Amino acid sequence: MSEEAFVTLATSDSYAKGAMVLGQSLRNHHTNRKLVALVGPHVTDCCIEALNTIFDEVCVVNVLDSGDTANLALMKRPDLGVTLTKLHCWTLTQYSKCVFMDADTMVLSNIDELYEREELSAAPDPGWPDCFNSGVFVFRPSNETHDKLLTFCSENGSFDGGDQGVLNSYFSTWATADISKHLPFIYNLSSIAIYSYLPAFKQYGHNAKVVHFLGQVKPWSYSYDTKKGEVKGSVSQQSAHMHPDYLLLWWQLYTKSVAPLLKSAYRDEPFSSGFVQHEYEDLTHQAAAPAPEPKKLSSEERKKRWEAGQIDYMGDDSFANIERKLDTFLK
């Protein structure tokens, strides 16, 4: 019987860093499947070296870009045209069945049972649950399917400018044909969904097996204070939709298992291209000049900001605060 593998994709060093955390999380939970990383030609040698220590196979692939600025603009994600590169995963015909996982996902437990599922199995997208989210899916590599997908793409384009649009149009019966192809949401818990239905998260969140840091702000957009063990919001926090516990977990994994690989890889080549340097700059910066305390907002002002989508996920509107409020209501 031929082998099965988890597959991810990184076209840049930042996404490669995400891929390393994902790969390490799969190792920590003792997967017995192979790990494959597809990388674009711009990923630097030091990242490829680090990826090689975690993954069984690192394959360099050409970047495929939709260049579909109109549809990408609708999602406010001009950067996602390159996600069409994901379609290369169907060419991994040395494997009989694979599970694709975005580089911004992380597993919280062993998920090898996913190989009992058939192509194309995936979890609902939190934005439009009749579409599947293409951050985690089960597929069967096949050159024929790969060719058909590319043809489909060139003839019809992608309704979102990225892979998820094409894949949903191609596997168009997913929503209705076979319930066994609907993965439970716990296999692709997007951080966005946590805040759109908090009571459900409170009820079922502890069962989550895969967390997906979906959206523009990624764990690597933050920095981490290794001394305090705290994540620091170095980017506009208003646009982040992240549960602080998962974010912390990502950084703990990164600091413990990934950063050491990168530092040794960078050793001979002084920080020419790395995020590692930024992190350390951030650290020293924070040590020298702590950020001023944000001014307290009235609850009216907070409500206004929440409704305008300016949510202070790390502060007043943090999960812990909301949970406390929910508990008071429920009592």
The 10 Å Cβ neighbour count of residue 309 is: 9
- The answer to the question of residue 162 lying near Mn ion (CB under 5 A) is no
Near ligand GLC by CB under 6 A: residue from 162, 219, 233, 274 = 162
3-state secondary structure of 262: helix
3-state secondary structure of 219: helix
Strand-pairing partners, residue 35, are 6
What is the rounded end-to-end Cα distance, in angstroms, of the chain? Answer: 55
> Of 212, 213, 216, 250, whose CA–CA distance to 231 is shortest?
250
- The answer to the question of residue 274 lying near Mn ion (CB under 5 A) is no
Task: Name residues contacting ligand UDP, limited to 103-142 (CB under 6 A).
Answer: 103-104, 135
Q: Beta 95-101 vs 3-10: how paired, if at all? A: parallel
Near ligand GLC by CB under 6 A: residue from 133, 223, 237, 257 = 133
For residues 74 and 326, which CB has a smaller minimum distance to ligand UDP in the complex?
74
CA distance 311 to 316: 9
For the bound state, the minimum distance from the C-beta of residue 203 to Mn ion, rounded and expressed in Å, comes to 24
Find out whether 265 and 46 touch, Cβ atoms under 8 Å: yes
Considering Cα of 3, then 146, then 138, then 189, what sign does the dihedral take?
Answer: positive
Q: Which stretch binds ligand UDP (CB under 6 A): 76-84, 89-97, 145-153, 220-228?
A: 76-84
- The answer to the question of residue 165 lying near ligand GLC (CB under 6 A) is yes
For the bound state, the minimum distance from the C-beta of residue 263 to ligand GLC, rounded and expressed in Å, comes to 30
For residues 165 and 265, which CB has a smaller minimum distance to Mn ion in the complex?
165
For residues 18 and 141, which CB has a smaller minimum distance to ligand GLC in the complex?
18
Interface mask (CB under 6 A) for ligand UDP, residues 146-185, using x and -?
----------------------------------------
Near Mn ion by CB under 5 A: residue from 23, 135, 161, 274 = 135
- The answer to the question of residue 11 lying near ligand UDP (CB under 6 A) is yes
3-state helix, strand, coil in the chain (%, to 5): 50, 15, 35
For residues 84 and 261, which CB has a smaller minimum distance to ligand UDP in the complex?
84
- The answer to the question of residue 279 lying near Mn ion (CB under 5 A) is no
- The answer to the question of residue 188 lying near ligand UDP (CB under 6 A) is no
The 10 Å Cβ neighbour count of residue 145 is: 17
Near Mn ion by CB under 5 A: residue from 4, 13, 68, 104 = 104
CA distance 250 to 28: 13
Q: Which residue is nearest to ligand GLC (CB)?
A: 162
Find out whether 228 and 178 touch, Cβ atoms under 8 Å: no
Query: Which residues 6+ apart lie within 8 Å of 307 measured at CB?
Result: none
- The answer to the question of residue 211 lying near ligand GLC (CB under 6 A) is no
State CA 226 to chain mean position distance.
22
- The answer to the question of residue 258 lying near ligand UDP (CB under 6 A) is no
Tell me the two tokens of residue 273. 């291209």
CA distance 190 to 307: 21
Give the total of residues touching ligand UDP (CB under 6 A): 16
Find out whether 163 and 139 touch, Cβ atoms under 8 Å: no
Near ligand UDP by CB under 6 A: residue from 4, 13, 68, 102 = 102
- Count of CA atoms in the C-beta half-sphere (13 A) of 299: 0
Which residues contact Mn ion (rule: CB under 5 A)? 102, 104, 135, 214
Which residues contact ligand GLC (rule: CB under 6 A)? 80, 83, 102, 133-135, 160, 162-165, 214
Which residues contact ligand UDP (rule: CB under 6 A)? 8-12, 15, 79-80, 82-83, 102-104, 135, 214-215
